[in-house]
A and B are shown apart, each in its own frame.
Chain A
């Protein structure tokens, strides 16, 4: 074989290996989706069934037994609500910092980032007691507030980076023409920053949606979100694998798709802008 053939062969082996690894990583998810279309008996069959007559009964049953839509609604309200609240606070701040940086801007951003490092369990007791005293335990409101606060630092940092990328010359030119601050924001900055803002919001929704610690600890039956609903399946009372799979598939599908769509922002957001 010539060198070129050897290189080609090696490349082919690498591609096959890549597919095998990808299938292994994806397998548990594939299996979960498959199980959600089985009956409970098929789900625990030994040997496991790969081919069977699919049923949709799990998806209708989980609604009757667990009130799935309530938990889904709680998840939607808390993750969208938390994201909106955080964006409302972050957009003006990040805007001001990016276009009028001061001596302390960098230190402020670094300090904000450091609040993200506070381990949740370190402040569990005060937050639990405060929300109990304020009557917020097991309400969507407390999760909205907490989700907004825990994502605010990341949102600030990404938005700051986005606003920084808008060329200052455009703004200076418009200021020379006498554009007001309001028009500057609505007509020049927002159209340019819109994509960045939308994908930051998407990332924040993904993070809120999967958040389990606060949801499990601060909510019960009224304001529980999907991670808490799934956690309730861990009780040893029964082996409802098919129903568990159906709930899990429904709970994860939207966010996995979201995740695929905002991969790039995810990298920036999760590494606090340090890897682009």
Chain B
């Protein structure tokens, strides 16, 4: 192909993605420095960093930031540890393995609003939910999960959705592990843990780091699961940054402050993204 044609073919994807990145981004940055509230259209003008100051000093900001970190951290820990355990458990030939795999990864394909509502109603409801029924069986008082432990409830729901993702990735990666090496280790008398620490874990080091980074990107912007279950409450107990910005924008109509929050979220995500892009770049051969 001649170089001109190559350039013409590449141009559309580069141009649309460039526009998609630069137009909304510069608008967000611009909005974040002006007075912009849909309820008070007559107030306008440049106000510097006041929106940021307002966003940072909002009493909900610190709890939301803390909730975001707890949510991301716990889901990461649960899904990676559980994902490792399960994928090693099924990394052996047995009858019905295909079915077990399909059952294990299915939750990942359920849309977020559906999984959140199944858990909210049929599992965690304090009167009719299955958790309540089980605690009655043991003679315990049922727990009203969503109002007593709102953040924990969201963590459970998101972990249920994302552990299958970790299982899927680790399972795929384990299939490329050198089986002869493992057999040789077994013959040499290496036990399960010795093999795990010295063979399996090093083999999974890359997939683990990729899973951590990708989940971090997605979990920083968890929205639907909170939107349909707790609505961020009670109070701000289960509000994360994404949800806080959402409430300021579409419920408080304060575009300026919400944009300042948006810029903050973008910076936070980019810190993670730098590492992810580097990790992926290493595997890309041009």
Interface residues of A (CB under 8 A from B): 11, 14-15, 17-19, 21-23, 25-26, 28-29, 31-32, 35, 44-48, 89-90, 92-97, 99-102, 105-106, 108-110, 112-115, 117-130, 149, 152-153, 156-157, 164, 181, 206, 209-210, 212-213, 216-217, 226-228, 230-231, 233-234, 239, 241, 244-245, 248, 251-252, 255-256, 258-260, 263-264, 266-267, 270-276
Contacts and interface: CB of A to CB of B under 8 A. Distances in A.
A226 B117 CA distance: 13
A51 to B, nearest CB: 16
B89 interface: yes
A22 B104 contact: yes
Contacts of A121: 221, 223, 241-242, 245-246, 261-262, 265
A107 B123 CA distance: 47
B103 A31 contact: no
Nearest to B23: A126
B182 to A, nearest CB: 13
Contact of A227 (B112, B241, B280): B112
Contacts of A274: 206, 210, 279-280, 282-283
Contacts of B286: 101, 105-106, 109
A227 B221 CA distance: 17
B263 A122 contact: yes
17 contacts: A21-B89, A89-B12, A115-B20, A122-B25, A122-B266, A126-B23, A152-B16, A181-B5, A212-B227, A231-B224, A231-B227, A245-B118, A245-B122, A248-B117, A252-B109, A255-B109, A273-B280
A120 B262 CA distance: 9
Contact of A112 (B17, B96, B220): B17
Interface residues of B, number: 106
Interface in B1-49: 1, 3, 5-7, 9-14, 16-17, 20-21, 23-25, 27-28, 31
B250 interface: yes
B92 to A, nearest CB: 6
**Residue of A164, A212, A251 ringed by the most chain B CB atoms within 10 A:** A212
A46 B118 CA distance: 17
Contacts of B110: 29, 210, 248, 252, 256
Given A29-B106, A126-B24, A271-B210, A244 B117 contact: yes
Nearest to A150: B20
Interface in B251-266: 255, 258-259, 261-263, 265-266
Contacts of A153: 17
Interface of B is mostly: helix
Nearest to A35: B122
B245 A124 contact: yes
Nearest to A17: B89
B185 interface: no
A101 B285 CA distance: 10
Interface of B: 1, 3, 5-7, 9-14, 16-17, 20-21, 23-25, 27-28, 31, 86, 89-90, 92, 94, 96, 99-100, 102-123, 127-128, 130, 133, 160, 163-165, 168-169, 172-173, 176, 206-207, 210-211, 214, 217, 220-221, 223-224, 227-229, 241-242, 245-246, 249-250, 255, 258-259, 261-263, 265-266, 268-270, 272-273, 276-277, 279-286
Contacts, number: 305
A132 to B, nearest CB: 10
Given A124-B258, A230-B117, A234-B113, 17 more contacts: A14-B89, A32-B122, A96-B6, A120-B221, A121-B265, A123-B24, A123-B28, A152-B16, A157-B284, A210-B109, A230-B111, A233-B228, A241-B128, A252-B109, A263-B105, A272-B214, A275-B173
A14 B103 CA distance: 17
Contacts of B272: 117
Nearest to B88: A14
A271 B214 contact: yes
A14 B265 CA distance: 43
Given A122-B262, A244-B117, A25 B164 contact: yes
A233 B227 CA distance: 12
Contacts of A14: 89, 92
Contacts of A90: 13
